[in-house]
Structure 1
Amino acid sequence: MAERPAMSDRTATFVDLVIAIILPPLGVFLKKEFWICLLLSFFGYLPGIIYAVWVIITN
C-alpha cells in the first residue's frame, strides 16, 4: 500500500483541527480519546477544544 503524500497529511491534520475547534469530541472521535474529550467539553467548551487540539497535534 502506497504512503499518502505529505501535503495530504497536513490537509487531514488541518481538517481535524478545524473540526476540533467547532465540535471538540468529534475532532478526536477516531483517536480513541472521545470520552475524555466529551467529558471535558461538558465541563466547559474551552477545555474540550484544548484537549482535542492537543490530541490531534501529538498523534
Structure 2
Amino acid sequence: MKLLRIILGIVIPPLGVFLTFGVGSTLFINILLTLLGWVPGSIHAVWAIAKHEEALNRESEIY
C-alpha cells in the first residue's frame, strides 16, 4: 500500500496525500502546491507520505 500511495503521490499528488492523511491541512497545502505546479505538489506528496510512514514505523518500534 505504501508503494501505491507514493506512485499516486507522484502521478496525482492530492490523491496520494488524501489516501494517507484524509481531508486536512496537509491535503489543502498539497492542492495549493499542485495548482502552482505539478512538480512542487509531487515533491510535497512524496515527502509527506514518507514522513508519515516513518512516524508510523517509529511508533511501532516503541510499542
| TM-score tier (shorter) | 0.7 to 0.9
TM-score (norm 2): 0.72
Q: Pairwise CA RMSD of aligned residues?
A: 0.9
2:28 alignment partner, SS class: helix
The TM-score normalised by the length of structure 1 is 0.76
CA distance in 2 between partners of 1:22 and 1:50 (Å):
11
The count of aligned residue pairs is 48
Instruction: For structure 2, list consecutive stretches of 5 or more residues without a partner in the other structure.
Output: 53-63
- What SS does the aligned partner of 2:6 have? helix
More helix by share: 2
Identity of aligned residues (%): 40
* Amino acid paired to 2:9: A
Q: Which runs of 4+ in 1 moved over 6 A?
A: none
